Structure 1
Amino acid sequence: MDDDLDILLTNDDGIESPGFKTLYDSLSELGDVTAVAPATDQSAVGRAISSTVDIAEHELGYAIEGTPADCVVAGLQSICPDPDLVVSGCNKGANLGHYVLGRSGTVSAAVEAAFFGVPAIAASLYVPIDPDEDREWTDVDVPESKYDEATRATTYLVEHALGAGVFDNADYLNLNAPVPDYCTGDIEITRPSHMYDMDATVDNGIASLHDRVWERMAAGEIPDPEGTDRRAVVDGHISVSPLTAPHTTEHHDALDALAETYGSD
């Protein structure tokens, strides 16, 4: 363990959230933690960025009136330059699947760090719900103790991933852990699921968007194959997906052909 490890800690649930405090306390045992987090809940804002944001001192560090991406940019460029690692979390609610990566403020903070060339870990908590209960997972009260397994796994990776060369081939890690009562206690290396089940209804001029994935997870009816992040978490494992931040393109003969014929009509 490196006693001088410098960590920039952020999240999207807000600096007062229990998952953030739990992770802050645990990571502080590894080195110097600078907290730069949103003053209020900024869930699902993706990589939204601001031009100016208010900053206030907080007992844990700094509270930003802005987004997770704002926190990372301000943190890395001014408040806490040159950290060894950026950690984002611990988020209430899992961040699973390809389609979530661009939406999640938690994951987006890790992506923002990756564009600066700083290794990052995004950490989230899967909160199962009883399919017979008429409530959403967002309505579930999650005390600090429920973050224990997610915090333990995140702290383990913060302590060991850099020295093990994990970030030689990954820009950031997306970690999702079930609440302790549902967790087997082991880590499974995964890939993001491709399952997508959004729909919408329109009634009296109001469009309601529904992410059916959560309902299917609660009912245990998801088709995700072995090796995917969602399957691992539903089966009780801690999912860790090694990911890269920049969007990449492949060579496309068909598109090349269209480019060659452009303007020939």
Structure 2
Amino acid sequence: MSESLSLLLTNDDGVDSTGFRALYDALDAVADVTAVAPADDQSAVGRQLSADVDVAEHELGYVVHGTPADCTVVGLEALCPDVDMVVAGCNKGANLGAYVLGRSGTVSAAVEAAFFDVPAIAVSMYVPPSGDTPWNETAEDPADYRHATAAATYLVDRAPEAGVFEEAEYLNVNAPMATDDEDEPASLEVTTPSTLYEMTAKRNEENERITLHDGVWEMMRGGDLPDPEGTDRRAVVEGRVSVSPLTAPHTTRHHDALDSLAESYQA
């Protein structure tokens, strides 16, 4: 990798998260990395933007009292406008499936970069079920993230010159959590986001509260995963690093039905 390559590194778990530091250290060994990361946990805020944000210097770069999308905009416009790429992560918890892309702060930081025409990579790590231990209390060792950091470093190094970003605006990378008995990096698979969707909402008649529930995670815990081969979730659950090449602008397609309605519309 060229030493002149400059990166803006952000995330949504906050600047002090284990995954962020693990990815910073891995990339800092091979590139000029400037952290522009949220001051605290901003998970699942999507592309939420602020009108203004407070920014402070940090030993790794800058800390922003705002969202991941704020960090991308502030970084590219004001703090480090000449970077070659934006990398977001490493998120503790996978960002898998088409329906998750718009919710994830990690992915949204990469999407925001794409609208600046800056190549971007979102990096997340799948945390598998671990008995009675809550998932958010696991993965506290930087070594747990080594599949994610290895894949991210490889893609940062190779993807631009290979022409990857001539076809994709950003990459959504999801890696399995590393275990102590693994010496080799996990293999890498190019995937498409799964279209499986199992959100439910149940009303509690006693207190009028409505509970939203994502059934996909239950399926993953139980090993009952109907995702076909070639999808991001299937790859990660089976121990491979998933890389989905994605475009940021929404696609549009003209069709006769809507064209006909538009032609017959009377204001």
Give me the TM-score of the superposition, normalised by structure 1. 0.95
Q: Deviations over 1:229-258 (max 9, x none)?
A: 001011110000000000011112111111
Match of 1:233?
236
Match of 2:218?
215
Match of 1:153 among 151, 154, 174: 151
Could you tell me which runs of 5 or more consecutive residues in structure 1 were left unpaired when the two chains were aligned: none
Match of 2:39?
39
Q: Deviations over 1:155-213 (max 9, x none)?
A: 11111111111111010000000011398710000000000000011211211111111
Matched residue SS, 2:221: helix
Q: Give distance in 1, aligned partners of 2:39 and 2:16.
A: 8
Matched residue SS, 2:147: helix
Match of 2:160?
162
> Given that residues 95 and 101 in structure 2 are in contact (C-alpha distance below 8 angstroms), is that contact kept between their aligned partners in structure 1?
yes
Match of 1:247?
250
Q: Give distance in 2, aligned partners of 1:129 and 1:194.
A: 22
Match of 1:199?
200
The alignment covers a number of residue pairs equal to 262
Output the amino acid matched with 1:61. G
- Pairing of 1:28-67 with structure 2 (within 5 A): 28-67=28-67
> Given that residues 191 and 232 in structure 2 are in contact (C-alpha distance below 8 angstroms), is that contact kept between their aligned partners in structure 1?
yes
Output the amino acid matched with 2:55. I
Q: Give distance in 2, aligned partners of 1:46 and 1:135.
A: 27
Q: Give distance in 2, aligned partners of 1:118 and 1:110.
A: 9
1:175 maps to 2:173:
yes
Q: Give distance in 2, aligned partners of 1:142 and 1:242.
A: 29
Match of 1:4?
4
Q: Give distance in 2, aligned partners of 1:25 and 1:53.
A: 26
Q: Give distance in 2, aligned partners of 1:214 and 1:88.
A: 23
Give, in angstroms, the shift of residue 138 of structure 1: 3.0
Match of 2:21?
21
Give, in angstroms, the shift of residue 134 of structure 1: 5.0
More moved, 174-183 vs 17-26: 174-183
Match of 1:104?
104
Output the amino acid matched with 1:41. D
- The change in CA–CA distance for 1:143 and 1:13 in structure 2 (over 3 A counts) is same
Q: Give distance in 1, aligned partners of 2:245 and 2:189.
A: 11
Q: Moved runs in structure 1, 4+ residues, more than 6 A?
A: none
- The change in CA–CA distance for 1:28 and 1:73 in structure 2 (over 3 A counts) is same
Match of 1:69?
69
Q: Give distance in 2, aligned partners of 1:90 and 1:139.
A: 16
Give me the TM-score of the superposition, normalised by structure 2. 0.95
Give, in angstroms, the shift of residue 3 of structure 1: 1.0
Percent of aligned pairs with the same residue? 63
Q: Give distance in 1, aligned partners of 2:56 and 2:10.
A: 15
More moved, 117-126 vs 173-182: 173-182
Match of 2:90?
90
Q: Deviations over 1:32-67 (max 9, x none)?
A: 101000000000000000110011111111110000
